[in-house]
Structure 1
Amino acid sequence: MDVVMPQLGETVKEGTVTAWHKKAGDKVQAGERLFEVTTDKVDTEIPAAASGVLAQILVAEGETVPVGARLAVIEEAGGAAAEEPRLSPVVRKLLDEHGLEPAQIRGTGTDGRITRRDVLEHVGRQQAPATDEPRGVALSRIRKRTAEQMALSWRTIPHVLQAIEVDFHAVEQARGTLTYLPFVASAVCKALVEFPAVNASFAGDSLLLYRRVNLGIAVDLGEEGLIVPVVKDAAQKKLPELARAIQALSEKARAGRLLPDDVTEGTYTISNPGRFGTLLTAPIINPPQVAILSTDAVVRKPVVVGDAVVVRPVGVLAQSFDHRAFDGAYSAAFLRRVKQILESENWSAALAR
């Protein structure tokens, strides 16, 4: 039977084979993990659909093919097993020089053949670098894609940064064990409905204004990189539901269980470095979106309320926006509206709904 590139989401048109867990000639069991596919920053393990022998691998690791393309062939159990991949003289010599056996190395060439690069990479992994030498660290797939996207954004988008200080006293009185993030997200969603040009993206010479607010929440994956799962129709959700949706997507992201549809169709993004104590962050816009918000640390500080000086929890919200989409006054009005909502909303009532 043919192994094909699966349809992993409604908007997914292609995928990249990032790893084969079997090589040509190996036996496979139905349900056993066979290969990994990357689409839109999401890595998905694909199980074998049938038991038998992996007779051929038609698409090598790193290749991108459309949905439905043939990737490999599994012969039913009892069929003729595939021959052991042949070795070129160069590869055989390298194996002999390093005292290696073909079975120790997973081939990435056509039909699972072991290439010179496969051998050298295997040897490199076995040799620990000298302690006084710099150590090269390969970038993860997520970090590579993030680097490409951010470099493109910085080259092509005229970024402008604006920041506003917010008194989180009203939020503090109601939030209990919740973080500040869902409250900021709720206020942002309300403001985006009133300021549609912020909830938009570029398409050629046009600005697309979205009716739906699909809110991206940047999630830190440590050394692996950054990923932005999307809460669909966030403006339609009440505060408790929005908080649960953000928490669920963040947990899925850190567990590596996001699906391609979880990271598509975002219209606005929030980055949340404040838990690290940052004062002000200038985030890079996630194209084709036209703005992104950073929520920085909330700290207790003296503020003037009426004629009195009181101690309040205060934090900075900073928005980077694309100056081609709108001007500074529009962005400032949007930020002011977010601030007004955060400072004046009855958050206890919002949590009880």
Structure 2
Amino acid sequence: MAKYEIFLPAMGEGIIEATITKLLKNEGDSVEEEDSIMEIATDKVDSEIPAPANGVIAKLLFEEGDIAQVGDVVAILVTEGEELATEKADNTPEKVKTENTIAKNITPVVKEENSPTISNKTENGSFISPLVRTIAQKENISSEELNQIKGSGEGNRITKTDVLSYLENRKSAGTSLKMAEPIVAPVSSGPSAAPTASHKSYEGENVEIIEMDRMRKLIAKYMVNSKQVSPHVTSFIDVDVTGLVQWRNKVKNQFLEKEKQKLTFTPIFVEAVTSAIKDYPMINVSVDGDRIIRKKFINIGMATALPSGNLIVPVIKNANEKNLIGITHQVNDLAERARGNKLLPEDITGSTFTITNLGAFGSTTGTPIINQPEVAILAVGAIKKKPAVIETPQGDTIGIRHIMVMSLSYDHRVVDGGLGGMFLKRVAENLENFDTTRTF
């Protein structure tokens, strides 16, 4: 005897919209409480929207591929005895009301006398979200200009990042620009995006065309964005981790028995990096226009490969407040849930520095791309046995040592070679001088 409006829920810091990727129920379907009604996807994580009670789906207000804002009504559920309104039309009062809902925590824009009137669709029929229409009205972007922007969202829909990129380019050029290719929004006031390189089409039985999945598209967009925003510089250093390797080999079985956790090298790297950040806090910053934002907390992102071949970066929050045991527990938990596609939005937001382990795939070194809006990323290579010069009080000798190459890519806008080099050296010193007498 009740009607429920089912809203797109808040899904973490900075997430204001989601794409309806799959409708799991149709109008008129009976559902039980907690049954999944639809699958949604953000630029951070995939999720589902459950039914709040037993009942019948009276109306679905979005179709697959549509983009909804946080706070939008996405479906209406009625319990037994309520009248069903199953007719689906884009111009129903409920639909119109939904499409004009502004995401929660976003201040509505009062339309000025000369502000352009923005339709909820472009001339080619692509949906324009309420947030994009709000931005367009505030910035006096006309419908004609919106029609020129090729969206990067599902079905070429114009997203917030597309319209912000357009504004950046319009501001720098002093005039309206015609967008020939999708543009990735720069962080703060970064440079405009470069056009996609042209290529010829290939045909024949010896060629397979593979469409990028949603996550691969996002990864590609973020990587291009990072290179456009940050002038990358990469420094390298050899690290003798012989003592560290021997210590881990000695204690790993005991650690597993006592803590029920596998002790990998990753928690040790996280601990060494966290300690170095305390010594060089200007590595733990981000850039906002002409301002430098220094974080007093340390959240370490760890790049993790997924079974699909894609990449995700779960975050170890407040790593500076954890010991090696605590870091190990969180590293293993995040890695396991990442591989099982069970990460929550808050698990992959808020990082201030990222580590990527190239050695997991046998690579000795590489030049990692900065995880925006951070200003540095550390890559650790495979640990290899190599002949090395060993300095002793009796003189230099040659010995077999466990050597690892580390590389640090940093944003040269705010991190110069001196700071980057000293930070990288401090991480190396933390690993080379690892206390092999410690008990976890």
TM-score (norm 1): 0.82
Which 10-residue stretch deviates more, 311-320 or 48-57? 48-57
Aligned match of 1:320 in 392, 405, 409?
409
The question of whether the paired residues in 1 share the 8 Å contact of 2:6 and 2:74 is answered with: yes
Structure 1 SS opposite 2:421:
helix
CA displacement at 1:80 relative to structure 2: 4.7
Corresponding position: 1:341 with 2:344: no
Say how many residue pairs are matched: 312
Structure 1: how far apart are the matches of 2:218 and 2:379?
21
CA displacement at 1:297 relative to structure 2: 0.5
The equivalent of 2:33 in structure 1 is 30
Equivalence map 1:162-173=2 (5 Å): 162-173=235-246
The question of whether the paired residues in 2 share the 8 Å contact of 1:283 and 1:293 is answered with: yes
Structure 2: how far apart are the matches of 1:171 and 1:224?
30
Structure 2 SS opposite 1:65:
strand
Structure 2: how far apart are the matches of 1:33 and 1:73?
14
The question of whether the paired residues in 1 share the 8 Å contact of 2:10 and 2:70 is answered with: yes
Aligned match of 2:342 in 257, 265, 270?
257
The equivalent of 1:95 in structure 2 is none
Equivalence map 1:292-331=2 (5 Å): 292-306=377-391, 307-331=396-420
Structure 2: how far apart are the matches of 1:251 and 1:164?
30
Aligned match of 1:16 in 4, 19, 27?
19
CA displacement at 1:327 relative to structure 2: 0.8
The question of whether the paired residues in 2 share the 8 Å contact of 1:158 and 1:324 is answered with: yes
Residue 416 of structure 2 aligns with an amino acid whose one-letter code is D
Equivalence map 1:50-199=2 (5 Å): 50-80=53-83, 83=86, 132=205, 134-176=207-249, 177=252, 178-199=263-284
% identical equivalent positions: 37
CA displacement at 1:341 relative to structure 2: 0.7
Structure 1 SS opposite 2:308:
helix
Structure 1: how far apart are the matches of 2:235 and 2:48?
41
Structure 1: how far apart are the matches of 2:85 and 2:357?
51
Structure 2: how far apart are the matches of 1:211 and 1:311?
41
Structure 1: how far apart are the matches of 2:41 and 2:220?
16
Residue 45 of structure 1 aligns with an amino acid whose one-letter code is E
Give CA deviations for 1:126-179 in whole Å, capped at 9, x if unaligned: xxxx99263333322221111111111112211011111111112112213422
Structure 2: how far apart are the matches of 1:207 and 1:13?
25
Structure 2: how far apart are the matches of 1:201 and 1:188?
17
Aligned match of 1:44 in 44, 47, 54?
47
Give CA deviations for 1:163-211 in whole Å, capped at 9, x if unaligned: 1111111211221342222111111110011111111111111111111
The question of whether the paired residues in 2 share the 8 Å contact of 1:52 and 1:78 is answered with: no
CA displacement at 1:340 relative to structure 2: 0.7
Residues 323 and 246 from structure 1, CA distance in 2 versus in 1: closer, same or farther, beyond 3 angstroms? same
Structure 2: how far apart are the matches of 1:299 and 1:188?
21
Structure 2: how far apart are the matches of 1:142 and 1:310?
46
CA displacement at 1:30 relative to structure 2: 1.3
Structure 2 SS opposite 1:285:
coil
RMSD over aligned CA atoms reads 2.4
The equivalent of 2:376 in structure 1 is 291
- The higher relative CO (CA closer than 8 Å, separation ≥ 6) is in 1
Give CA deviations for 1:228-280 in whole Å, capped at 9, x if unaligned: 01101112111111111111111111111111111111100001121111021
CA displacement at 1:10 relative to structure 2: 5.2
Structure 1: how far apart are the matches of 2:436 and 2:353?
23
Structure 1: how far apart are the matches of 2:298 and 2:45?
22
Structure 2 SS opposite 1:349:
coil
The question of whether the paired residues in 1 share the 8 Å contact of 2:59 and 2:88 is answered with: no
Aligned match of 2:300 in 209, 215, 224?
215
Residues 206 and 257 from structure 1, CA distance in 2 versus in 1: closer, same or farther, beyond 3 angstroms? same
Residues 56 and 348 from structure 1, CA distance in 2 versus in 1: closer, same or farther, beyond 3 angstroms? farther
Runs of 5+ consecutive residues of structure 2 not aligned to the other structure? 90-125, 128-154, 156-202, 253-262
Residue 58 of structure 2 aligns with an amino acid whose one-letter code is A
